[in-house]
Amino acid sequence: MDEVEEKWLVDSAIKIQEHEKALHLEAQVRWVRSDCIEKEVEIKAVTRQDLVVTEIDHGETLYSPWKEVPTFEGPGWYSDVVFDI
């Protein structure tokens, strides 16, 4: 959104609901003009074909292959996004 619309994402809230055997994602976002932001590292692209969004059940534990990422214990949602910088 920075290059195309000169917007910078500041905050977001996401809700996922089941509706007629399908999942629907609803997001509310807040933007500021991107020229108001001092940038250090910019993301060139998000690799959508590797996007993962998974529900983690109660009592289920998700372990990360990276030591910097903590263990996640359900219930909740997990997402893995690949960025091209």
Query: 36 and 6 in one domain?
Result: yes
Query: 48 and 27 in one domain?
Result: no
- Gap between the Cα atoms of 76 and 9, Å rounded: 23
pLDDT of residue 39: 84
Query: 50 and 74 in one domain?
Result: yes
pLDDT higher than 90, residue 26 = yes
Please provide the average confidence, as pLDDT, over all residues in the chain. Answer: 89
Query: 79 and 50 in one domain?
Result: yes
pLDDT higher than 90, residue 56 = yes
Query: 51 and 69 in one domain?
Result: yes
Total structural domains within the chain: 2
pLDDT of residue 40: 86
Phi-psi category of residue 59: left, alpha or beta, with phi > 0 → left and psi -120 to 50 → alpha: left
Confidence bin at 61 (pLDDT 50/70/90) = very high
- Gap between the Cα atoms of 6 and 78, Å rounded: 29
Query: 3: domain range?
Result: 1-40
Token pair 């091209």 is at which residue? 84
Query: 85 and 50 in one domain?
Result: yes
Query: 84 and 47 in one domain?
Result: yes
pLDDT of residue 1: 83
> Considering only CA atoms, which of 28, 27, 39, 29 is closest in space to residue 2?
39
Tokens representing residue 7 in the block: 């917007």
pLDDT higher than 80, residue 23 = yes
